[in-house]
């Protein structure tokens, strides 16, 4: 019965290849659209970073190396040198427990100036509140806890974690940059394991799954203050940003503010990807001229188009394609229609205490889309001449199907695998599409460059199948 159900569900995925090149014009992202994080505190953080520490997710002390970049700090943990790792049989390892989620070792993190500013605000407020609470009940304990809180001068708990390729094939096909979902699942790891077996080196980035902003910090501080007073926060322990959309709110100003916060969050993921690729090229010269494919999963699929556009600007001939699983466009609308998360964008009518009226949201959405440049619905326009494969569920409510269709329409020539199901089943059956995905990768990044057509549609992409 279960086997029959599995085959039935797998059969409910239909491949729809693009029928031609996009009729829409490519719209490169201008350099001015990339927000630059402040760099005034980077040197101070480098000085305060301990030479040896125990990063999150590590059981032992390890050396910390820091590279200062124009966009932030790349922190490396040399003890987890990928060259010392043994190849992993993912199917064997992942079958040991029933959890859908897995922990992946990290080789470092990327820290930007905005995150440093937010961390400083949060840490200062948290220390003050804890000091008042604990000293009130136990002066000695309060001093001890305060000392512990202050003991992270290098902000090692902050930043975007990443993992360098676990193993390098003898004759590597290229690099797949895996931008993970909210929680990395065994199903996407199984898929990337198949890609490794096919000759691809896989690097991973654990991108933010919520919009990072000053408002989110301010709300977190209000929650802490409410708890300190002995009250239960009305909005629970929500850690995203609350944007007031009241009758008198200027939709242009608020839309521009949300767009700024979204663009900054996406940009930092792109800067992380850029730094990781540079590190891979430095560490493994055999990969330095190999093709790159960006692969975004779920929440990781949302910044993936901008990441791909950034890497393409860096080396135009090297980026060969974009693979999306459960992606979509227009993050503001996704945040208000997703059944899983608002992505750190909470709209409240603080005066009326009532749901946001449709006309107010429509005006806000228009203002947001006019202001954002890195939302996937906008950044995908820079990739209209790049092969894109999008796997999405036709009954998805986490990243709504309508958002996936909006994104693909904005590109104009996306190869699609449409799965008849929701977000969870989409990922559960993701490994069953591995052969199709590998064949798609072969078509856009053949070993023999003479096989790569000037027009990718000269090659019958319909021949890609699981047969």
DSSP state of 37: P
Q: In this structure, is residue 260 part of a structural domain?
A: yes
Count of structural domains within the chain: 1
Condensed to tens digits (0 to 9), the pLDDT of residues 230-239 reads 555 444 445 5
Mean pLDDT of the chain: 82
User: 76 in helix, strand or coil?
Assistant: strand
Condensed to tens digits (0 to 9), the pLDDT of residues 185-196 reads 888 889 999 999
Contacting residues for 12 by C-beta, under 8 A, at least 6 apart: 419, 420, 421
User: Which residues partner with 203 through β-bridges?
Assistant: 177
Q: In this structure, is residue 143 part of a structural domain?
A: no
More confident call, 202 vs 353: 202
Rounded Cα distance between 152 and 149, Å, is 7
Condensed to tens digits (0 to 9), the pLDDT of residues 403-432 reads 999 999 999 999 999 999 999 889 889 988
Predicted local confidence at residue 460, as pLDDT: 33
Strands 319-325 and 292-297: parallel
Condensed to tens digits (0 to 9), the pLDDT of residues 320-331 reads 999 999 999 999
Predicted local confidence at residue 337, as pLDDT: 93
- We report the CATH number of the domain holding residue 443 as 3.40.50.1820
DSSP state of 100: S
Q: In this structure, is residue 20 part of a structural domain?
A: yes
* Closest of 120, 182, 179, 122 to residue 153, by C-alpha: 120
The domain of 426 spans 2-36+162-214+229-463
Share of the chain above pLDDT 90, in %: 51
Predicted local confidence at residue 57, as pLDDT: 65
Q: Is 243 left (phi over 0), alpha (psi -120 to 50) or beta?
A: beta
User: Which residues partner with 179 through β-bridges?
Assistant: 205, 296
* Closest of 41, 216, 207, 209 to residue 112, by C-alpha: 41
For residue 324, the number of C-alpha atoms closer than 13 Å in the C-beta half-sphere is 34
Rounded Cα distance between 56 and 66, Å, is 16
Q: How confident is the model at residue 467 (pLDDT cuts 50, 70, 90)?
A: very low
> pTM to 2 decimals?
0.86
Condensed to tens digits (0 to 9), the pLDDT of residues 154-199 reads 788 889 999 999 888 888 999 999 999 887 888 888 999 999 999 9
Q: How confident is the model at residue 308 (pLDDT cuts 50, 70, 90)?
A: very high
Q: In this structure, is residue 133 part of a structural domain?
A: no
Q: How confident is the model at residue 225 (pLDDT cuts 50, 70, 90)?
A: low
Which residue bears the tokens 């322990």?
Answer: 237
Rounded Cα distance between 103 and 57, Å, is 8
Alpha-carbon separation of residue 299 from 45, 50, 185 (angstroms): 29, 32, 12
Strands 174-179 and 200-205: parallel
Which residue bears the tokens 């709504």?
Answer: 400
Q: In this structure, is residue 271 part of a structural domain?
A: yes
Cβ–Cβ under 8 Å, residues 400 and 324:
no
Q: In this structure, is residue 451 part of a structural domain?
A: yes
Q: In this structure, is residue 283 part of a structural domain?
A: yes
Which residue bears the tokens 């290098």?
Answer: 154
pLDDT surpassing 90 at residue 82? no
Condensed to tens digits (0 to 9), the pLDDT of residues 14-73 reads 888 888 788 899 999 999 999 999 999 999 999 988 888 777 666 677 888 999 999 999
Which residue bears the tokens 């992270």?
Answer: 152
Rounded Cα distance between 400 and 442, Å, is 30
Q: In this structure, is residue 107 part of a structural domain?
A: no
Predicted local confidence at residue 348, as pLDDT: 80
Beta strands in 200-244 (DSSP E): 200-205, 241-244
Contacting residues for 440 by C-beta, under 8 A, at least 6 apart: 321, 323, 387, 389, 415, 461, 464
User: 63 in helix, strand or coil?
Assistant: strand
Of the given ranges (144-148, 253-257, 394-398), which has the lowest mean pLDDT?
Answer: 144-148
Q: How confident is the model at residue 131 (pLDDT cuts 50, 70, 90)?
A: low
């Amino acid at each position: 019965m279960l086997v029959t159900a599995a085959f039935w569900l797998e059969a409910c995925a239909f491949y729809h290849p693009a029928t031609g090149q996009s009729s829409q014009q490519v719209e490169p992202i201008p350099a001015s659209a990339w927000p630059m994080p402040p760099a005034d505190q980077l040197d101070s953080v480098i000085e305060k970073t301990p030479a040896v520490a125990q990063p999150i997710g590590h059981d032992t002390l390890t050396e910390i190396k820091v590279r200062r970049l124009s966009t932030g700090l790349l922190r490396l943990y040399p003890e987890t040198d990928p060259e010392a790792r043994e190849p992993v049989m993912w199917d064997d390892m992942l079958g040991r427990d029933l959890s859908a989620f897995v922990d992946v070792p990290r080789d470092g993190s990327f820290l930007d100036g905005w995150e440093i500013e937010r961390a400083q605000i949060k840490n200062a407020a948290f220390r003050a509140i804890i000091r008042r609470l604990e000293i009130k009940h136990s002066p000695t304990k309060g001093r001890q806890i305060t000392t512990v809180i202050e003991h992270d001068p290098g902000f090692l708990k902050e930043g975007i974690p990443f993992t360098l390729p676990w193993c390098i094939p003898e004759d590597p096909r290229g690099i797949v940059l895996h931008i993970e979902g909210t929680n990395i699942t065994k199903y996407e790891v199984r898929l990337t394991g198949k890609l490794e077996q096919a000759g691809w080196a896989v690097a991973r980035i654990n991108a933010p799954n919520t919009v990072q902003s000053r408002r989110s910090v301010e709300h977190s501080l209000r929650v802490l203050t409410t708890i300190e007073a002995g009250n239960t926060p009305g909005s629970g322990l929500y850690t995203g940003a609350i944007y007031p959309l009241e009758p008198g709110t200027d939709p242009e100003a608020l839309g521009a503010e949300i767009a700024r916060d979204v663009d900054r969050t996406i940009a930092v993921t792109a800067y992380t990807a850029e730094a990781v690729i540079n590190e891979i090229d430095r560490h493994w010269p055999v990969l330095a001229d190999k093709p790159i494919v960006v692969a975004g999963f779920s929440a990781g699929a949302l910044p993936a188009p901008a990441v791909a556009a950034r890497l393409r600007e860096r080396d135009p001939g090297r980026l060969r394609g974009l693979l999306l699983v459960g992606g979509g466009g227009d993050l503001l609308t996704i945040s208000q229609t997703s059944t899983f998360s608002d992505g750190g964008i909470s709209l409240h009518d603080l005066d009326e205490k009532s749901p946001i009226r449709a006309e107010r949201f429509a005006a806000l959405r228009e203002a947001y889309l006019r202001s954002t440049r890195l939302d996937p619905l906008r950044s995908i326009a820079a990739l209209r001449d790049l092969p894109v494969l999008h796997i999405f569920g036709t009954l998805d409510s986490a990243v709504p199907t309508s958002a996936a269709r909006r994104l693909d329409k904005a590109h104009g020539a996306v190869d699609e695998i449409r799965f008849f199901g929701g977000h969870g089943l989409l990922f559960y059956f993701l490994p069953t599409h591995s052969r199709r995905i590998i064949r798609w990768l072969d078509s856009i990044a053949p070993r023999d460059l003479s096989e790569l057509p000037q027009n990718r549609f000269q090659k019958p992409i319909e021949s890609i199948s699981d047969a």
